[in-house]
């Protein structure tokens, strides 16, 4: 261990959860003071810097995440998620991540916060960012979270143990309203009129038709990054919605953006082709950058939105059932949504998805004692 008066350390484990990576720490490892806490996290990840060379971040929003885990008075465990800026000196605590949530149960077992059950450990989890309650089924082997298995997800090489994650009553998790604009669609004036659907199910997403942006909807992340005018327009949309919904604490990554189109065939960023007949809707998501695959909170929100009459996702999707398969840049993902779309406002009872998770490193991670950390 390096000891130096200008260096501090945090114990943690780097986990891959779904198609994202994040640093998992015990809640008690972070400073109670919010400004000092955020300064420490930025140092740990090496932000702001597009390469995050001075830290453990991977230079992308989906590899620049932190999860703080603890026991809970009412539920088995709780966790708090932080989206760490890459090129921005900001830490966003206003949202959740469905991909890294897949690793919360396994990480809690690894931290010794839970006793395991034979074969599968069932865990009830509270996400403190949104108040969402999550049921998770984690396969175990020899009292440890199972890593090896036969389940595969597009966007992750190989296979792993199948982790089932169900969000309970996820509607209105950020704003308190399933449709925060009080309507299925809203027309904005951002470099011209643009119709959007603002949906809050597991996370807050602004859905836009690809065609309304002059896009095909099958563009891959690199192609989207080259469309600066489109990205600038979408940032304008995001800014207008933040102000309209009075999201004063939200950083640039929230709300997320979902570009949707009807089922289409396209070549992925990996050696695979998605066939239109195998999916119900095509989607591209943007957080801080275009997502290399798909955010799972975004997938849940999109899956539910395809069942809500009048929304843009419902208009472009070509299937109306509990099981929705979404095409993304690296393949497909399926979510199962239990939703009541009766005469009154829709009610989302639950949303379920399956992922895998894998621990990558357990270490003492250094940060420089500069600025507020000095």
What burial letters (b/e) apply to 28-44, b meaning 16+ CB within 10 Å?
Answer: eebeeeeeebbbbbbbb
Record the tokens describing residue 140, joined without a space.
């175990």
CA distances from 210 to 213, 229, 308 (A): 5, 14, 19
- 105 and 205 share a domain? no
Helices and strands, counts by H and E, the chain? 7, 20
Cα–Cα distance for residue pair 221/178, rounded to 1 Å: 28
Residue 2 lies in a domain: no
Cα–Cα distance for residue pair 354/92, rounded to 1 Å: 25
The count of other CB atoms within 10 Å of the CB of residue 55 is 22
Residue 290 lies in a domain: yes
CA distances from 347 to 10, 84, 129, 201, 341 (A): 41, 32, 21, 10, 7
Asked, as a colleague might, if the bond just before 48 is cis with ω within 30 of 0, I would say: yes
Q: What per-residue confidence (pLDDT) applies to 3?
A: 81
Residue 175 lies in a domain: no
- 131 and 270 share a domain? no
Cα–Cα distance for residue pair 364/162, rounded to 1 Å: 29
Phi, psi of 138 (to 5 degrees): -110, 115
State which residues form the domain around 278: 186-344
Total number of domains constituting the chain: 2
Q: What per-residue confidence (pLDDT) applies to 343?
A: 67
- 94 and 224 share a domain? no
- 197 and 239 share a domain? yes
CA neighbor of 261 nearest in space, from 235, 241, 280: 280
pLDDT tens for the 374 residues of the chain, in order: 678 899 999 999 999 999 999 999 999 999 999 999 999 999 999 999 999 999 999 999 999 999 999 999 999 999 999 999 999 999 999 889 999 999 999 999 999 999 999 999 999 999 999 999 999 999 999 999 999 999 999 999 999 999 999 999 999 988 999 999 989 999 999 999 999 999 999 999 999 999 999 999 999 999 999 999 999 999 999 999 999 998 877 677 789 999 999 999 999 999 899 999 999 999 999 988 899 999 999 999 999 999 999 999 999 999 878 999 999 999 999 999 999 977 677 899 999 999 999 999 999 999 999 999 98
Q: What per-residue confidence (pLDDT) applies to 21?
A: 96
pTM score, two decimals? 0.92
Q: What per-residue confidence (pLDDT) applies to 354?
A: 97
- 100 and 41 share a domain? yes
Contact 288, 61 (CB under 8 A): yes
- 190 and 298 share a domain? yes
- 79 and 154 share a domain? yes
- 328 and 199 share a domain? yes
Residue 42 lies in a domain: yes
Cα–Cα distance for residue pair 53/59, rounded to 1 Å: 8
CA neighbor of 28 nearest in space, from 46, 1, 10, 7: 10
CATH number for the domain that contains residue 260:
3.10.310.10
Residue 328's Cβ-side half-sphere holds a number of Cα atoms within 13 Å equal to 26
Residue 264 lies in a domain: yes
Residue 56 lies in a domain: yes
Question: Which distant-in-sequence residues (6+ apart) come within 8 Å of 148 by Cβ?
Answer: 141, 159, 160, 161
Residue 170 lies in a domain: no
- 146 and 193 share a domain? no
Contact 279, 323 (CB under 8 A): no
- 240 and 140 share a domain? no
- 222 and 149 share a domain? no
- 108 and 196 share a domain? no
């Amino acid at each position: 261990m390096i000891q130096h008066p200008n260096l501090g350390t945090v114990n943690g484990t780097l986990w891959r959860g779904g198609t994202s990576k994040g640093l998992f720490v015990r809640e008690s490892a972070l400073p109670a003071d919010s400004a000092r806490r955020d300064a420490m996290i930025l140092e740990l990840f090496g932000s702001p810097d597009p390469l995050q060379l001075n830290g453990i971040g991977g230079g992308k929003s989906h590899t620049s995440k932190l999860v703080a885990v603890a026991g809970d008075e009412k539920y088995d465990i709780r966790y708090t998620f932080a989206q760490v800026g890459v090129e921005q000196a900001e830490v966003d605590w206003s949202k959740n991540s469905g991909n890294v949530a897949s690793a919360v149960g396994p990480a809690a077992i690894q931290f010794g916060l839970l006793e395991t059950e034979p074969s599968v450990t069932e865990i009830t989890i509270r996400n403190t960012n949104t108040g969402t309650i999550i049921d998770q089924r984690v396969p175990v082997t020899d009292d440890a979270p199972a890593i090896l298995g036969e389940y595969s997800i597009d966007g992750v090489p190989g296979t792993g143990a199948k982790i089932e994650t169900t969000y309970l009553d996820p509607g209105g998790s950020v704003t308190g309203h399933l449709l925060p604009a009080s309507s299925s669609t809203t027309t904005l004036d951002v470099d011209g009129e643009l119709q959007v659907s603002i949906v809050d199910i597991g996370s807050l997403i602004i859905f836009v038709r690809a065609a309304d942006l002059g896009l095909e909807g099958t563009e891959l992340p690199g192609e989207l990054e080259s469309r600066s005018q489109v990205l600038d327009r979408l940032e304008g949309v995001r800014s207008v919605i933040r102000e309209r919904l009075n999201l004063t604490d939200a950083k640039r990554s929230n709300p997320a953006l979902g570009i949707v189109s009807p089922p289409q065939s396209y070549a992925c960023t990996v050696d695979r082709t998605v066939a239109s007949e195998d999916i119900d809707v095509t989607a591209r998501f943007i957080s801080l950058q275009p997502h290399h695959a798909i955010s799972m909170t975004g997938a849940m929100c999109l899956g539910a939105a395809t069942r809500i009459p009048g929304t843009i996702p419902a208009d472009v999707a070509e299937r109306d059932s509990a099981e929705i398969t979404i095409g993304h840049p690296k393949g497909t993902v399926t979510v199962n949504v239990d939703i009541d779309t009766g005469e009154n406002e829709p009610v989302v009872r639950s949303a379920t998805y399956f992922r895998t998770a894998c621990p990558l490193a357990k270490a003492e991670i250094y940060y420089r004692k500069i600025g507020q950390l000095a």
